Amino acid sequence: MLAVVMHGAKDLRVEQREASAVLPGEVRVRVAVGGICGSDLSYYRKGGVADFKIREPLTLGHEVAGEIMEIAAPTAGLTVGRRVAINPSRPCLVCPFCRTGRENLCVDMKFLGSAARNPHVQGAFSESVVVRADQCIPIPDGLPFTVAACGEPLAVALHAVRRAGEVMGRRVLVTGAGPIGLLCLAAAIRAGAAHVTVTDLTPEPLAIATRMGADEAIVVSGEVDHLAQAASTHAGFDVAFEATGAPASLAALPLLMRKGGRIVQVGMFPPGELPLGMNVLITREIDLIGSFRFDQEFAMAIELLAEGKIDVTPILSGLYPITSALDAFEIALDRRRSVKVQLEIT
């Protein structure tokens, strides 16, 4: 089967890979659409993401939807031909984290298309993928695969919003209008935020933020003044979602927050340490909270998309055939042109 495989930085190949067998409890899914994630782009540009490096060929892809081809054994709700979104998380289900509602912290997680463990867990930018049955969430007929494939990044955003504590009635800042930032915006609106400000270095994605309901959109290139001004209008932000992964963005946040506020760090940073002004965090009693992937929010995301309660179509920038994956990755790197680029795989 055809797959999008990274062999190292900038060495992306669309090539034949052997399909895995379907073991008991598993299903094979024909992959229809797959979205290119920021981590896919990092693998592409740098041969790794955060602290993890590619050590063997790695099929990318973890934002996918498709149709069930084969089932090892009858499973409640799943039949051959069923359209599904795939949850890329395969937690162990037995560790203390899995048993207390924090599967994203599972000590033995297998996450599609990730170099976090060795051997790597191969991803889903391939004509078919084998997953555990409980990773498949049925979707209604009317829901396009392109939208269903956004369930995964939306789950990341919903999880970040839950990590933020109370959002209803709060002044929210989202730094970075990439896919995750824009979905944090949508999730924060859904959770009842009183006012959401979104920032980015370029105006193009901010136009989309405005279309998606942002109350304020600020270009931060050069002059941070506008943002500081916005912060002071609200006597500081109650909640910030840091979705750039840029050290300078996080470093600027403490002074923009209201006392007692909460920063949720969603974006991953380049490897290494970064500088932070901790005294402001202390004297303002600001919470700095890590948010990593998602847990039950995947099902919640699919339900919201299925019922049309969150509209992700403004972030969809284009669908490219798998054979043009290289072009698609290059296009996805250009944040002035693209938010979420997807591959049409089968």
Q: Which residues bind its own copies (CB under 8 A)?
A: 50-51, 93-94, 97-105, 107, 158, 161-163, 166-169, 190-192, 194, 250-251, 259-260, 265-266, 268-269, 271-279, 281-292, 296-297, 300, 303-304
- Decide if 269 contacts 243 (C-beta within 8 A): no
φ, ψ at 124 (rounded to 5°): -120, 10
**What's the closest the beta carbon of residue 26 comes to its own copies, in angstroms?**
17
Dist CA 65 CA 147 (whole Å) = 9
**What's the closest the beta carbon of residue 323 comes to its own copies, in angstroms?**
34
Dist CA 285 CA 318 (whole Å) = 43
**What's the closest the beta carbon of residue 184 comes to its own copies, in angstroms?**
13
**What's the closest the beta carbon of residue 3 comes to its own copies, in angstroms?**
26
Q: What are the CA-CA distances from residue 90 to residues 187, 290, 332, 334 (Å)?
A: 24, 21, 27, 31
Dist CA 123 CA 153 (whole Å) = 16
- DSSP readout, 12-74? EEEEE-PPPP--TTEEEEEEEEEEPPHHHHHHHHHSEETTEE--S-EE---EEEEEEEEESS-
**What's the closest the beta carbon of residue 195 comes to its own copies, in angstroms?**
9
Pick between residue 50 and residue 331 the one whose CB is nearest to its own copies: 50
**What's the closest the beta carbon of residue 85 comes to its own copies, in angstroms?**
16
φ, ψ at 100 (rounded to 5°): -130, 30
Pick between residue 292 and residue 326 the one whose CB is nearest to its own copies: 292
Cis peptide before 275 (omega within 30 of 0): no
Buried b / exposed e across 158-175, counting CB within 10 Å, b at 16+? bbbbbbbeebeebbbbbb
**What's the closest the beta carbon of residue 100 comes to its own copies, in angstroms?**
4
**What's the closest the beta carbon of residue 186 comes to its own copies, in angstroms?**
11
Pick between residue 30 and residue 171 the one whose CB is nearest to its own copies: 171
CB neighbour class for 73 (10 Å; exposed up to 12, middle 13-18, buried from 19):
exposed
